[in-house]
Structure 1
Amino acid sequence: MELFVSVKNGADANAGATAEAAVRTLERARELVRMKLAEGYKQDITVWISGGRYELTEPLRFDEGDSAPEGYSVTYRSAAQGEEGATISGGSAITGWEPYDANIYRVRLNEGCAIHTLYENGERALTARSPKQGYHVVAGKGDGDSRSGFRFLKDDIPLFEHHAGGAQVHIWPGEGEWNWFTETKTIDRINWEEGFISFKEPAPWGIDQGSRYRVQGALSVLTEPGEFYFDASGGELYYYPRQLPIEEQVIVAPAMNRVIELVGGSHDKPVKGIVLEGLTVECSDYAREYRMPDSNCERAESRHGLVYLENACGSSVRGCHLRNSGFSGIVLNGYCQGNEISGNLIEHTGYNGIYVIGIAPGEGDYASAEQADVSKGNLISNNLIRFGGELVGHSSGIQLYQSGSNEVSHNEIHGMPRYGISLKGLRQGAMESSYYGTEVTWENHWDFTHTRNNLITRNNIWDVMKDSQDGGMLESWGAGTGNRIIANRFHHSGIYFSFGFCIYLDDASDYYQVSHNVIHDLYSAGSGVLWFVIFSKGIGNRIENNLLVRNDARAAFGTQEMAGEANRDVTILRNVAVNSGDQLYHFVNWKDDRLQEADFNLYANGAKELTVSGIYGDDKRGLVPIPWEAWRQMMDGKFDAHTLNSDPMLITEGEGGSVQFSLDPGSPAYGLGWEAIDMSGMGLKESFPFPREWRLRDC
């Protein structure tokens, strides 16, 4: 069965059975499909959506009544591709602008409107701010609760008229040290004489000297093109356009946090078999304030995406262009199984590119941890995800929280402020004493961590970790066991301030396999330091057969035990590291059970002496590196007895992000058991549906 929709030539009074008799709205097409399904129709259904712009007044929602029959699909497909295709928008153009001063225009909006983000000609406009780029730095703690305000240098913040509900602070809380999460706080009081700001509601962590922040949302700091200010009390929007005349620019205000929803009624009544294909979906809203996750669990008010799935099974988002979101591009929330997210271009998101959110330990009306394990078995493949985190500083290209047995493959991710890919859960030391009536013990705590048995493979990640610290290009914290990080490419990415890593198995990341990855051309920049290329906390992690080339790191491999979470039985085996660390290993708080095995590696450090740091040396703290031979003699020669310091005979073909590495057949690495790594299939497949010139594959 086929139905046809045309915003240009259709009419909802039509039957929609032919292109000449198309309906006009997506809502009417959905209604006709639903009626057909209610009659018991059991065949594939395709809704052809003609080119044009479909502006919604509320999210387009599909539920179990729109589900495809078992074994069939209901596909909503753009009839044309590219700029000629169908665009579904969560916003509408603003008109009626009038001059306010030489550069700024003003318009009065309808009562009840609120503007949290704005787009001009498809490019995000920014809330008026100070500074324009980067951040100011907190001068010191405020009076009383350090979470509720801070002191600032008087010359940092320009004078502006402040009133209730107006200006805000976008800040990285964390005592001036932890640049892990951002929040947006509304200012309660600001005193320029004393250099003090207080918030209406406290941040979750204290704020101290060195915390980064900016002030935003005041008319007097609206001074550059592409900035806006919304006066909530007067309902007036002020904008400094990038181009003139303003009447010829398409300036869009989003009206909803989600544009398309696939939401079933319950676990027992999921939406199934819906396919969104070849559509452009754009322009969703943000929020007045953003609060960081609670123990990695995203708050309900921030679980929004251009496309949102919940209680959804066997549905697909394929070949779509998702752009200009307030929050994330795609969100799979709660019960989501067997869905496919593939071949999409996801860009200019306010938050994450793709966000999969399972059930937090103890959350929901479940009888056991096993029943709560409802987010799993999804495919996230062959997507280009770029330029995210435009509104939330700790954003990822792809984040899995409490979600397992997913395949994340062949994606290309770049231009993210924090992680490329992140796996999140809750470490045992931060869990409550019991969940679902079951006491939490060391032996059973992994039952409550559902981010497990994920396959992360053949992805191409570069230019991430742009605006945060103590993170990694691929990161894990408190996730479950059995995750596999295999045959990915990480390259051309820097640590711009403080410190960070490439593959970062953070606290309570246990029993991971990290193998056949290629990591090259990572660097330290400014005040930033790439500490370790691969950093393994946790238990039983196996780091095998990875190729590290030209990485400006303190050490190739590092380990650390902290937060009361064990770090032991790590295996580092058959890796090749070429000019990738001043030290080969650095062990923070070494213990004799830290490594289960370390051997058959090959290092080539140029003229540098081979050393290991973190073992007790002359300074009794392990900061002075010990010679390589001293390391090999430790513990009766247990480690690196066969490891070589030798030329690997590396072959380099091409350059930039497309470079291909291999080892000459005569390389001594093969005598150590090295397995060749095929780099040709890392990143996007040739079937990626968007034009090659859109990919920006070379960094």
Structure 2
Amino acid sequence: MMVPRRRIVHQCWLVWITSVLVGLTALTAASAVASTGPVVGEGRTVFYVSPDGSDTDIGTSAKPFRTLERAQQAARSVDPHVAAAKDVTVFLYGGTYRLTRPLDFDPRDSGRNGHHVIWRNVPGQHPVVSSGRQITGWHLVDQTKKIWAADVGDLKTRQLYVDGRRVTRARGPMNPQGFTKTSTGYIAPDATMASWRNPSDIEVVSRREWKQFRCPVASVKETTITMQQPCWHNASLQFGMGLPSWIENAYELLDLPGEWYLDRQAGRLYYIPKADEDISTADVVAPVLQTLVRGEGTLDEPLRDVRFEGITFAHATWLAPNTDEGYAVVQAGFRIVGSDNPVFNQTMPNWVQTPAALVFQNARGIELRRNTFTHLGAAGVNLETGSQGSQVVGNRFEDISSTGIQVGGTMKVDHHPGDPRQIVKDNTVSSNVVARVAVENADAVGIFVGYTTHTTVAHNEVFDLPYTGISVGWGWGLFDAGGNPNYPGNNGLPVYDTPTTSRDNQIRDNRIFDVMKTLRDGAGIYALSAQPGTQVSGNYIDHVAGNYGGLYPDEASAYQEWTDNVVQDVPIWLHIWTSSIHDLLVADNYTDQPFMRNNGRNITMKNNTAVQNGEWPARACRIAANSGLEPDYADLLSPSDAAPELCRSGA
């Protein structure tokens, strides 16, 4: 608020304004936004940042800092007594904040005494935190194919965005014919690929069941394609990588508008513009960092009480698939790495999780509210080992290469931690939109919950996915107390005599639709292993493609309740396929598809209703109507987010 003009003599005016500023110890957020003067007192508690600011300025609304790093330094410097008595807020003006390295948070960035350090937008403005590098200097290099090029030096990326749209890395046709598989790769139908430049940059993508493998080529000699190791070996374990679904990342594959290729050796980027794009004026962005924000404390001193609000996190890549390990996927974005993997089952303790744009470990009370996560090359958010009491509420996740949200991991430290402070527990994921993720790694899921205690996943809208909507649990029972007797010798893995940390999780009131559009053997909601006290209830699942389930408690799922769910337009509403699944309550669910499987042990089936002719009971309609976003977050849905039709009668 500007100071009113007053009729006072000049010499008194200076005394008056000085006394006002010295006596001012706090401002409300609203008045701080409008203020043109510094926030003063025992210590500053409000800072401002703008892409047009200067790091030599003082961080007020009128003289904001320029970089997030400078604002972080200022927030850390707040007098501890002041920080313990009030929130410390960093306001971001609209514009793009381009990172050249991840923004790292540690215990110095924590809130104190229950107060938060808040990083948020100036109300009404739209800041973007990005590692995107803008690509300019385009020139036409092939008039016939309309291929343009830009010199980019040592750029390394796997994604490209033009005028805010993800464009396609050069690729060949789907399911090319004439290939045969060998022990070291493939025999091609002809010698065409032998003449392609940069053969070690070429990747073969293969979809099979619930997996989408991606391995790089080592060499091409005449018709013999030799694949890089250890990716080829690791991707050949279990049932193995199959014939090519397509071949990707070669200059010679550039043939359609909207395709691009990065020649890393020559430092040149190629692109064929779409009809509505003017490459001379287009905003072309290549992400360069894997992680944008990394928050990590220690067991003795966790990172605490940091909130991010109203920020768009965009333009991160993931370069691990460029390496000789490629993407030897197992399930849900987890992959096999390393070269000492003689047997598939013995690789299980070391399956690696896909990283994320925002990663937190040994953190307490982290809050992500009303942010947007988009144009990302790996996952959106990871709450990893030691994440407790954190909230991911009211965000939108879209156009992400892998999983949207991951809570908890799958390593020994997660299922049998040596210290209770390492347990991932008491976290909430609610009222988020998770749409059109897993766009590059089709085996990834909307929301993944690993080994966790009391995770709540509620009132989310999850839709338009190639594979599973929500996945909770891990391990196929092999790390449960006593292991899984269906696997002789527990597959050679250690047998624990204590239960895992998976218990008391709540998957409720979510709306999940248009999933399983590409791969097989998944579901609207999928679970694994014993999870005592876990409840899957009040969810509305509509239109699951393929031949699997709306509700799918998979191997060794036990001690769970699956109740009060509505499953519509799904081939198999409930999929309990093996005897390792036991001690479940499946009650009071509604479906318009009576077909199900129940091959489990001690499964209590009670009051489940198969409706006919779309005549849903009133209670089913209420469950469906209550699912999805809570009213305060309805604005997160865009006009193109066509929700499924709810009950036609009985509401």
TM-score by length of 2: 0.80
Alignment partners' CA distance in 1, 2:623 and 2:241: 48
The verdict on how the C-alpha distance between 1:122 and 1:296 changes in structure 2, with shifts beyond 3 A counting, is farther
What is aligned with 2:463? 414
With over 3 angstroms needed to count, the CA separation of the structure-2 counterparts of 1:320 and 1:135, relative to structure 1, is: farther
SS at match of 1:5: strand
Cα deviation per residue 1:2-55 (whole Å; 9 max; x = unaligned)? 433342442212222x31122121111110010115576312111111111111
Q: In the alignment, which residue of structure 1 is the partner of 2:110?
A: 67
CA distance in 1, matches of 2:396, 2:349: 26
CA distance in 2, matches of 1:354, 1:691: 17
The answer on 1:168 being equivalent to 2:203 is yes
Query: Which ranges of structure 2 fall in alignment gaps of 5 or more residues?
Result: 1-43, 330-334, 337-346, 484-488, 645-651
Structure 1 match to 2:62: 20
Hey, what does 1:427 align to over in structure 2? 476
Shift of 1:503: 0.8
Question: Distance in 2 between the 1:568 and 1:373 partners?
Answer: 33
Quote how far apart the aligned CAs of 1:62 are: 1.3
What amino acid sits opposite 1:75 in the alignment?
A: I
Q: 1:144-293 residue pairs with structure 2 within 5 A?
A: 145=183, 148-151=184-187, 161-172=196-207, 178-190=208-220, 193=223, 198-201=227-230, 202-206=232-236, 211=243, 213-242=245-274, 243-264=276-297, 266-287=298-319, 288=322, 289-292=326-329, 293=335
Distance 1:479 1:165, change over 3 A: farther
- The CA distance in 1 between the partners of 2:140 and 2:631, in whole Å, is 49
Question: 1:479 deviation in Å?
Answer: 5.1
Task: Quote the residue 1:491 is aligned against.
Answer: 542
- 459-468 or 18-27: which moved more? 18-27
Is the CA contact (8 Å cut-off) linking 1:141 and 1:209 kept in structure 2?
A: no
1:363-385 deviation digits (Å, cap 9, x = unpaired): 79x8x666485111100000000
Counterpart Cα distance in 1 of 2:120 and 2:413? 39
Q: For the structure 1 residues 246 and 297, does the alpha-carbon distance in structure 2 shift closer, same or farther, using more than 3 Å as the test?
A: farther
**Counterpart-to-counterpart distance in 1, 2:176 and 2:301:** 50
Return the offset for 1:179.
Answer: 1.6
Root mean square deviation, CA, Å: 3.1
Partner in structure 2 of residue 667 of structure 1: none
Alignment partner of 1:320 is 2:320: no
Structure 2: distance between partners of 1:428 and 1:185: 29
Distance 2:370 2:170 in 1: 35
Q: Unaligned 5+ residue runs, structure 1?
A: 173-177, 523-529, 561-566, 580-605, 607-649, 653-660, 664-674
Worse overlay, 215-224 or 242-251? 242-251
d(CA) in 1 for partners of 2:55, 2:281: 30
Alignment of 1:427-576 (within 5 A): 427-429=476-478, 445=496, 447-478=498-529, 480-495=531-546, 499-522=547-570, 530-531=571-572, 533-535=574-576, 537=578, 538-549=581-592, 551=593, 556-560=595-599, 567-576=600-609
The residue identity in structure 2 corresponding to 1:117 is: Q
Find the residue that maps to 1:375 and give its secondary structure.
coil
Partner Cα separation in structure 1 for residue 226 and residue 265 of structure 2: 21
Contact 1:546 1:574 in 2 (8 A): yes
Name the CA shift for 1:483/1:691 in 2 (closer, same or farther; >3 Å): closer
**Equivalent residue of 1:417, what SS?**
coil
- SS of structure 1 residue aligned to 2:168: strand
Alignment of 1:294-443 (within 5 A): 294=336, 303-361=354-412, 371=420, 374-429=423-478
C-alpha change, 1:676 and 1:413, in structure 2 (3 Å) is closer
CA positional deviation for 1:680: 2.5
1:577 is aligned to 610
Could you say what secondary structure the match of 2:252 adopts? helix
Residue 680 of structure 1 aligns to a residue whose secondary structure is helix
> Alpha-carbon deviation of 1:181?
2.0
Which shifted more, 22-31 or 206-215? 206-215
Given candidates 72, 75, 85, the residue that maps to 1:33 is: 75
Counterpart CA distance in 1 for 2:472 and 2:413 is 19
State whether residues 150 and 270 of structure 2, in contact with CA within 8 Å, keep that contact through their aligned partners in structure 1.
Answer: yes
8 Å contact kept, 2:362–2:422: no
Aligned-pair CA distance for 1:290: 2.5
Alpha carbons 1:135, 1:213 under 8 Å: kept: yes
Q: Whole-Å Cα distance in 2 between the matches of residues 445 and 214 of structure 1?
A: 42
Distance 2:176 2:240 in 1: 13
Deviation at 1:140, TM superposition (A): 4.2
- Measure how far apart 1:267 and its partner are: 1.8
Q: How far has the Cα of 1:679 moved from its partner?
A: 3.0
CA contact 1:342–1:379 (8 Å) conserved in 2? yes
Structure 2 Cα separation of the partners of residues 212 and 70 of structure 1? 56
SS of residue matched to 1:324? strand
* Aligned 8 A contact 1:183 1:290 in 2: yes
Shift of 1:432: 12
Quote the offset at 1:183 in angstroms: 2.4
- CA positional deviation for 1:107: 1.5
Change (3 A) 1:114 1:11: same
The match for 1:48 among 53, 70, 91 is 91
Deviations 1:66-105 (A, max 9, x none): 0000211111110134xx4111112121111111112111
Deviation at 1:171, TM superposition (A): 1.8
| Other-structure match for 1:597 | none
For residue 296 of structure 1, report the CA deviation from its aligned partner: 6.6
Per the TM alignment, residue 219 of structure 1 is displaced from its structure 2 partner at its CA by 0.5
| Whole-Å separation in 2 of the counterparts to 1:304 and 1:63 | 18
- Matched to 2:551, the amino acid is I
Relative to structure 1, the CA distance from residue 50 to residue 197 in structure 2 (aligned partners, 3 Å threshold; closer, same or farther) is: same
Query: Is the 1:410–1:685 Cα contact (8 Å) retained in structure 2?
Result: yes
| Shift in alpha-carbon separation, 1:424–1:296, aligned structure 2, 3 A | farther
CA distance in 1, matches of 2:562, 2:386: 28
Q: 2:157 aligns with which of 100, 115, 121?
A: 115
Counterpart residue number, 2:14: none
Q: 5 Å matches for 1:536-685?
A: 537=578, 538-549=581-592, 551=593, 556-560=595-599, 567-579=600-612, 651=615, 662=618, 678-685=623-630
Aligned residues: 566
Distance 1:442 1:249 in 2: 54
Task: Quickly say closer, same or farther: Cα 1:211–1:65, change in 2 above 3 A.
Answer: same
Cα distance in 1 between the residues matched to 2:203 and 2:455? 38
CA deviation after TM superposition for structure 1 residue 693, in Å? 3.5
Distance 1:49 1:208 in 2: 48
| Structure 2: distance between partners of 1:208 and 1:443 | 25
C-alpha contact 2:395 2:636 (8 A) present in aligned 1: no
Structure 2 distance, partners of 1:90, 1:446, is 46
Query: Partner of 2:5 in structure 1?
Result: none
Distance 1:209 1:405 in 2: 36
Distance in 2 between residues matched to 1:352 and 1:163, nearest whole Å: 30
Quote the Cα distance in structure 2 between the aligned partners of 1:192 and 1:571. 60
Partner of 1:5: 48
Name the residue aligned to 1:563. none
Aligned to 2:255, what secondary structure does the other structure show?
coil
Q: Quote the offset at 1:153 in angstroms.
A: 5.0
Residue 191 of structure 1: CA displacement? 5.2
Identify, as 1 or 2, the structure richer in helix: 2
Does the Cα contact within 8 Å between 2:47 and 2:75 map onto a contact in 1? Answer: no
Quote the offset at 1:299 in angstroms: 5.1
Match of 1:693 in 2: 638
The letter of the residue matching 1:407 is T
